[in-house]
Amino acid sequence: MKGLFRKFTVRDLVLIAAMAALGIAIKPVVVPLAHLISTPLMIPGGALAGGLYMMWMVVAFGLTGKHGTATLVGLVQAILVMITGVSGSHGAMSLLSYTAPGILVDLVFLVLRRGIDSMPLALLAGILANVAGTVCVNFVFFSLPLIPMLLSLCVAAFSGGVGGVLSWLLLEALSRYGIRRKKT
């Protein structure tokens, strides 16, 4: 286990834990508001709200610049919801539904061989994270018919894109205050 975390500094691990906690902390506020819109459309509320809590994975990756960061954020989030029973817990399946988006974000930046160095990359990361989460939750729990599923994925992509742009803006603001993003 020690080797797994060797590339992460204590600062990185604190940032990962903080970003995971922020993602879980805003869920109880954002999801009920999203349900006002998503319920009449017959799509899961997480598809609409997800961009606002998936953004913290993107921010964490942007702050550390290290592959595996987004996956660890998702894993910590899964453990937090399983232990605390916060809304959005899917029991043991939370390990899949919370970690898969982080894995996808990390894989994309591993393949691209770069970090989040532009708004389009942050936008892409947000979209991929939220779409991955929406796909996982749909296949495990909802099994939506084709049309609601496609609508759900479109909403997830839009929401994830918004989260990605917000992530970029937050990373830029943090950079101006001396909290620099590292290049991967």
Q: CB neighbours of 117 closer than 8 A, spacing ≥ 6? A: 181, 183
**CA–CA distance, 69 with 48 (Å, rounded to integer):** 24
Query: Domain residue spans in the chain?
Result: 10-176
Which tops the pLDDT comparison, 136 or 17?
17
Amino acid letter, 2: K
- Residue 159's beta-bridge partner residues? none
Instruction: Give yes or no for residue 62 having a pLDDT over 60.
Output: yes
Q: CB neighbours of 74 closer than 8 A, spacing ≥ 6? A: 20, 57, 98, 99, 100, 101, 102, 103
Q: Confirm if 74 and 98 have CB atoms less than 8 A apart.
A: yes
CATH architecture of 10-176: Orthogonal Bundle (1.10)
Length of the chain: 184
Q: Confirm if 45 and 156 have CB atoms less than 8 A apart.
A: no
Instruction: Give yes or no for residue 184 having a pLDDT over 50.
Output: no
Which tops the pLDDT comparison, 20 or 38?
20
For residues 153-160, average pLDDT: 92
Mean pLDDT (the chain) is: 85
For residues 121-132, average pLDDT: 94
Q: CB neighbours of 133 closer than 8 A, spacing ≥ 6? A: 46, 50, 54, 97, 98, 100, 101, 156
Which tops the pLDDT comparison, 37 or 130?
130
